[in-house]
Amino acid sequence: MKILRTPDACFENLKDYPFEPHYTNIKTEDGDELRIHHIDEGPTDGPLVLCMHGQPVWSYLYRKVIPYLNKAGMRVIAPDLVGYGKSDKPAAREDYSYERQVTWMGAWLEANDFKGITFFGQDWGGLIGLRLIVNHPDRFDRVVISNTGLPHNPDVPDDIIRQVEDFRANAPTPSLMAMQKALSAMGDSGHFATQFAYWQKFCWENEDMPIGFMMSMTMEARSSLASALKFFLHDLGVHSPFPTPLARAYDAPFPDPSFKMGPRAMPSQVPSLPTSPSLQQQEKAWEFFEAFDKPFLCAFADNDPVSAGAEQEFLNHVPGTNGLPHTTIKGGGHFVQENAPDQVAGVIIDLIRSTQGD
C-alpha cells in the first residue's frame, strides 16, 4: 500500500486551531503501518467525548465545539479519519472501503483504550462511529448523532439501481452548480440514491476536488454578489478564488491532488444501493441497535436536505432513544459544528449531565 503523509508545514498558522497533535500507529490487514492523528483536549478525568468528522473535512471542524465542552469539564477526543487531516493518506481508490475505515478506526480505538465514551458523529463520522459502537459496545456509554445515518438499502427497485449505475458510469461529470442543485433537492423528490449519485460522481471525477472552496461557500456567510463572483472565477478555472482562512484550513491536508483520494473515493462507499459490499454488515448493525438501550440522542439540523428525516429511523427502532429530549439544531446546515457549535455542545453536555450514573 502506498501511503502519503501531509508535511507538518501545511498545518502551520491555521486560524483557531491551537491543539497539540497526538498520533497512534496501527497495522493494516496487509501489515502496513498507518499513523492516525487525534486531538485530546480537556481534563484527563473529565467525561470522555469522542467527536468524529465526515467527508471532506477533518478535526478542524470541531475547533469551535471543543472550548464549550472543555469549559463544562469534559475531555474531547477528535480523530482525523484515515485519508483526512493530519492522518496518513493511502493513495489508491481501493484502499478506502467502508469496512477498512471501520477496521482502522477500531484498531485506533483499542490502541488508545478509550472507555466510558459519549459518542458524537456527523456525516461519515456517524456512519463509521456507529459501526465502532457495534464492534466495541462496552467502550460506549451514550450516543449523540447529527446529520448522519446508518444506510441499509436492500430493497431499492431494479430500475433505480440501473439508473444510478448508468449515471455514474456514463453521464458527464456534473458541474459544481449541478451537484449542489441535486443535493439541495434530495428532500423534495426522487430516490435518495439518484440524487446522491451527483455527489458521488462529482467527488470521484474531480481529481483536484475543490475542498476548501466548497467548504467556504457552504459554511461562510457572504453577499449574493460575492458568492456569484467566486463561482464565476471558479468556473473560469481559478481553483480557490480569494481563499479565506477557513478555505485554507480545509485545503491544508491536501498539498496536491494525489492526497485527495480519501475525500474523492468515500462518497462512493455509502451503502445507498443493495449492491453495496457493506450490505450484510449494515444489516447486522441495525440488528444490534434494535436492542441498544443506552442513551441515544438525535440532534439533526432543520435545514440540511442531505439528511432530512434520517433521524426517524433511529427514533423508530433504537430503544435508547425513548424518553430523551431529541433536539433540532436551528440553522446548523449540514456541518452543524461550524454553524451552531454552541447548540451542538449544549446537547452533548445536557445528555451527559442528565444520564451520569444511569
DSSP symbol at 175: P
- Find where cell 472552496 sits: 213
Catalytic residue among 88, 123, 141, 251: 123
- Distance from C-alpha of 293 to C-alpha of 289, rounded to nearest angstrom: 8
> Number of C-alpha atoms within 13 angstroms, CB side, residue 222?
16
- Distance from C-alpha of 298 to C-alpha of 130, rounded to nearest angstrom: 13
Give the end-to-end CA distance of the chain in Å, rounded to a whole number. 45
The one-letter amino acid code at 347 reads V
Helices (H), 40-175: 65-71, 98-112, 124-135, 158-170
Verify whether residue 80 is a known catalytic residue.
no
Judged by DSSP in three states, 330 sits in: coil
Catalytic residue among 37, 152, 234, 334: 334
89-90 vs 3-4, strand pairing mode? antiparallel
Exposed / middle / buried, residue 255 (Cβ in 10 Å: 0-12, 13-18, 19+): middle
* Backbone dihedral region for residue 84 (phi beyond 0: left; psi -120 to 50: alpha; all else: beta): beta
Q: Could you tell me if 310 and 280 are in contact, meaning their C-beta atoms sit under 8 angstroms apart?
A: no
Closest to 311 (Cα-Cα) out of 324, 322, 297 = 297
Verify whether residue 334 is a known catalytic residue.
yes
Judged by DSSP in three states, 34 sits in: strand
Verify whether residue 8 is a known catalytic residue.
no
27 beta partners: 33
Closest to 272 (Cα-Cα) out of 211, 196, 358 = 196
Q: Active-site residue numbers?
A: 123, 304, 334
